[in-house]
Each structure stands twice: as structure tokens, then as C-alpha cells.
Chain A
Amino acid sequence: MSWQVIQQALPLFRKAFVLTLELSAIGVVLATILGLVIALVREYKVPVFSQICATFEELLRNTPLLIQLFFLYYGFPSIGIKLSAQACAIIGISLLGAAYMSGAFRGGFSGIPTIQVESAKALGLSPLQMIRHVTLPQGLTRSVPAVAANAIFLVKETSVFTVIAVPELTNTARDLIGMYYRTDEYLLMLVVAYAIILIPLSVVLTLLERRVRRGTFGD
């Protein structure tokens, strides 16, 4: 183990670290927004769209991200759509994430007792008013733990981007190992880098879970 090797690799790792953070953040945010839309469409059984969303969700949840990326990166150019590796990465992680997030949100909504919906109806609330004041706040709160778990999962999934040569952390480590054969140093740096992202994220999300739950239900 040599400190010099680590020091020399630091600038490259820093760059990869920032890119991983950016791709993760964009991916998680897009996946969450899209996932919520899909969940609402499915929950309220919007005709036609509901079936499309269900198919989309099943398809994406049941194929590996690796294959989805190959499809976007190597498959799409053959039908005339050529995207950069990073664009493919963002699209891939957002769509896969959306499928998972939709499941998380739907789980949250399905936990709402029927009586809540009925008493909202009994007060004469319109479907939109019900979503806004009753089902959305309660459903979102119930979804937070699963959404948080998905967020962490998606951050780790960015390591798959290495297969289409996006210079994120895993790709950078692999490149360096290939060039200099300093496996110990680079793998250590890789693990530390992921830990620096994921451990604080996990702590923050746990606190958020508790806070949202207390804010909504007070327990």
C-alpha cells in the first residue's frame, strides 16, 4: 500500500466522485418525480395510461440495468438515435428508478385505510381535493422508508455505468487498475469514496423518515 499512489490518483477520483454524485442526484430526483406520476396514474386507474405504466414498470423492474444500458447505448443508434454515454446513463437510471419508486409510492398509498378515503368522500371532497389533502400527504409519508431505500440502491447502481464507459467512480478505478496494477490502493479508494457518499446519505434519510413520520402522524 503506497500513499504516493493514492495521492497521485486523488484528482482523478475527485472528478469521478463529483460525476457519480451528479448522476446519482439527477437520477434519484428524476426517478422520484416520474415514479410518483406513474404511481398516481396506476393508483387512480387512469384509462389506457394505467396499463401502459404497468407494462413499463414490469418491463424495467424485471430486466437488469446493464442490459437496459446496452440497449440504449448500442441498440438505439441502429434506429437512428445516438445518445452520449452520460445521456444513456441518466435515462437508464431514471427509468429503472422510476419503476422502483412507483412501487414504493404505490405501497405507501395502499397502506392508507379505506375509511380515510370514505370519510373524505363523505365530506364531499372531489378526487383531486382528496389526493391533495388526504391520500397524498398520508401516502407520501408511508412511502418514505421504501423511497429512501430505493435512493440508496440507485446510487449504488451508478457503478453499472462503467460498462458504457462513463467515467464515474467504478470506471475510473477499473481504468487505473488496468493501467498501473495497483489493485489494493485503487479498490480502497473506491470503497472509501462510495462510503463517503452512502453513509451520510443513509443517516440523513433515516432522520428524514422519522421527521416526516412525526410531522404527519406524530409517532
Chain B
Amino acid sequence: MADPNNFGPNDDEILLSVQHLKKSYGNHEVLKDISFDVPRGKVFVLLGPSGSGKSTLIRCLNGLETIQGGTIAFKGKPIDGTEKTWRRLRTEIGMVFQSYDLFPNLTVAQNILLGPTKVQKRPKDEVERQMDKLLADVQLSEYKNAYPRELSGGQKQRIAIVRALTMNPELMLFDEVTASLDPEMVREVLELMLGLAEHHMTMIVVTHEMEFARRVADTVLFLENGVILERQSGHDFFTHPETDRAKAFLDSMAPISDEE
């Protein structure tokens, strides 16, 4: 990668391929038969009512949940599902969670350096240079030696994103990263994610921010009861959803208006 800020749309390479994925907790089937392909450089947004399986699905994609059927392939290679394989892949698949994922016992810099230096075993000065640049990009350089408790929720989430990016992932997973933020902090996090999308980072995003989803999604997967009910380009999904369920979902998420 010549320019670390350009994640490069080369050809139509399929970065992640999910085929007939099944996941259940005991007898309860959470994901029934999920298949989709994510081309490199594209942004997929998972939408759906709560309990539809979006978060479970995204957690399956970096091995935090074990699957009961189907395959997940990354860069053309099927993943065997062992913890060892996942551990290696997690350096290439970054994930940011809803909240509280920074380590409170470590400073911002220690949080960011942990993965690249201990897991990837990269030289510290090289990682530090990258970190300094990324922190400058998100205007948080002054917090380098601060502890997470000294940061606002929005700042924490931006640091969590920087922490994942410093591993140079090829795919980023975002699991409702703004869901527990105060409204005024949502924007700074979403803008950072929009910037990543503009730089062609491959992303899979679970979100309830509809305006953001509309702007960022190359493809929308609409889930309900563990199946993909609808898959459309971002634009088409929001302008004319095919299914009644998706239509009802979009209506329920629409901002409250004055007209009756």
C-alpha cells in the first residue's frame, strides 16, 4: 500500500464472502441462511429492527461468535473457524464496538500501540509515526498521553477507530458505534467514518443513523428474523424499498415531522 490513506479500489476483488451462514443460540436460530459478497473498497450497511441479527452477523465476521453452518471466506480463502486462524485474521479485520472498548488502564497511545507492536510485532517508532499522523487527522493529538476517562464519548470512539486503523486492516467492522453517544457527539464519529469510506476503506456497518447510512452505503442489506429480506444499492433502498417490511422500517426511522 503506497499511500496509507488510500485503501485502493483495484479490480472487483471479493474481499469477504459469506455463504449460507447459520448461527443459533441453543434451539434459537438467529441467522438462518445468510449469503453476501463484499467487494474490496465497498461499504455495506446492515439495517433492520432490533433482534434481526445484524449485530450477531457482524460479530460472526471476526470470529467473536462461532457459526453453526456455512462458510466465511476472506480474500478468497475459506476460514476454518479455529481461534488461531481468527487471531491472525483479526489483525486484518478491524472492529469497533458500541462503547467502552478502550482499555481504561492504558493511555490513548498505549491503547493504540498495543496491537501493532505486540501482535503484529512492528517496530515501535514506525507505528508511533503512523499513530501521530492518524491522531492529527482526527485532531486528537493532544490526548495522546491521556487516559480514556479524560475523553468524551465521541473522542473515545474516534480513538477506538484510530486504534483499529493503526493495524492497517483491510476490512473494518462497525457495530453500532454511535448508539451510546450523546447526540452532539454522533456527528464527529460519523464524519470520520464517511472520510474512511471516501478513501475506499472496505466497511461493514451496523447503524441506526439513517441519514448516514444513506450517504455511506454502496449496498444495504436489510435483515429481519435472521434472513436478508432485501439487498439493494444504498440509493435505491432509501428511495424505493422493495418490501413492505423495509418500507415500514424506514417509516418508523423517519424523523418526526409537523404534518399529520
Binding site for B on A (CB under 8 A): 113, 115-116, 118-126, 129, 133-134, 137-138, 141, 216-219
22 contacts between A and B (CB under 8 A): A115-B98, A116-B100, A118-B64, A119-B102, A121-B63, A122-B90, A122-B94, A122-B95, A123-B163, A123-B167, A124-B88, A124-B91, A125-B114, A129-B118, A129-B119, A133-B114, A138-B105, A216-B104, A216-B105, A217-B147, A217-B149, A218-B104
Q: A123 touching B64 by the CB < 8 A rule?
A: no
B44 CB, nearest partner CB in chain A, Å: 18
Within 8 A of A (CB), among B108-124: 114-115, 118-120
How many residues belonging to B are interface residues under a CB distance threshold of 8 Å? 31
A126 to chain B, nearest CB (A): 7
Please give, as numbers and ranges, the residues of chain B lying within 8 Å of A137 by CB-CB distance.
Answer: 105
| CB neighbours of B97 from chain A (8 A) | 115, 118-119, 122
For A133, list chain B residues within 8 Å (CB): 103, 106, 114, 118
Contact of A124 with B149 in the complex, beta carbons under 8 Å: no
Which residues from chain A contact B103 at a C-beta distance below 8 Å? 116, 119-120, 133-134, 138
Enumerate chain A residues within 8 angstroms of B149, measured Cβ to Cβ.
217-219
Asked whether B101 is an interface residue with its Cβ less than 8 Å from the other chain, the reply is yes
- B225 contacts chain A at the CB level, 8 A cutoff: no
State in angstroms the CA–CA spacing of A134 and B115 once bound together.
Answer: 12
A99 to chain B, nearest CB (A): 27
Query: In chain B between 56 and 94, which residues have their CB closer than 8 angstroms to a CB of chain A?
Result: 62-64, 87-88, 90-91, 94
Question: In the complex, which of the residues A113, A124, A134 contacts B100, with contact meaning CB atoms closer than 8 Å?
Answer: A113
Instruction: Name the distance in Å between B145's Cβ and chain A's nearest Cβ.
Output: 12
Q: A119-B97, A133-B114, A217-B149 are in contact. Are A125 and B104 (CB under 8 A)?
A: no
Q: Is B99 an interface residue (CB 8 A)?
A: yes
Residue from B90, B101, B120 whose CB has the most chain A CB atoms within 10 Å: B101
Interface of B is mostly: loop
With a cutoff of 8 Å between Cβ atoms, the chain A residues found around residue B90 in the complex are 121-124
6 closest A-B pairs by beta carbon, nearest first, are A119-B101, A123-B115, A124-B90, A122-B95, A124-B119, A124-B91
B139-163 vs A, Cβ < 8 Å mask (1 yes, 0 no): 0000000010110000000001001
Instruction: Please name all residues of chain A whose beta carbon is closer than 8 Å to the beta carbon of B167 when the two chains form the complex.
Output: 123-124
Chain A residues closer than 8 Å to B91, beta-carbon distance: 123-124
A119-B102, A218-B147, A218-B149 given; name 4 further pairs at CB < 8 Å.
A118-B97, A123-B167, A126-B119, A137-B105
A121 vs B83: C-alpha distance when bound (angstroms): 10
Bound-state Cα–Cα, A217 to B100, Å: 13
**A133-B106, A217-B149, A218-B149 are contacts. A125–B101 as well, Cβ < 8 Å?**
no
The docked-state distance in angstroms from the alpha carbon of A19 to that of B57 is: 62
Whether B163 and A141, one on each chain, are in contact in the complex, defined by CB atoms closer than 8 angstroms, is: no
Residues of A within 8 A of B163 (CB): 123
Residue-wise interface mask of B (117-137) relative to A, using a CB-CB cutoff of 8 A (1 in contact, 0 not)? 011100000000000000000
CB distance from B226 to the nearest CB of A (A): 21
Chain B neighbourhood of A218, CB < 8 A: 104, 147, 149-150
Complex Cα distance A137/B115, Å?
17
Residue of A nearest to B100 (CB): A115
Rounded to whole Å, the gap between the CB of B169 and the closest CB of chain A is: 10
Contacts of A216 in B (CB 8 A): 104-105
C-alpha gap A134/B101 in the complex (Å): 11
Nearest Cβ on chain A to B151's Cβ, whole angstroms: 11
CA of A113 to CA of B104, assembled, Å = 11
Could you tell me the distance between the alpha carbons of A124 and B160 in the complex, rounded to whole angstroms?
15
Q: Chain A's nearest CB lies how many Å from the CB of B205? A: 15
User: Cβ of B105 and Cβ of A122 under 8 Å apart?
Assistant: no
Q: B64's contact among A116, A121, A125, by CB below 8 Å, is which? A: A121
**B100: A residues at CB distance < 8 A:** 113, 115-116
What is the minimal beta-carbon distance from A132 to any residue of chain B, in angstroms? 9
Interchain CA distance A115-B114 in the complex, whole Å:
17
Residues of B within 8 Å of A126, CB to CB, are 87, 119
A143 to chain B, nearest CB (A): 13
Q: Nearest-CB distance from B66 to chain A (Å)?
A: 13
Select which of B63, B87, B99, B115 is within 8 A of A115 by beta carbon. Answer: B99
The answer, among B62, B118, B150, for a CB contact under 8 Å with A125, is: B118
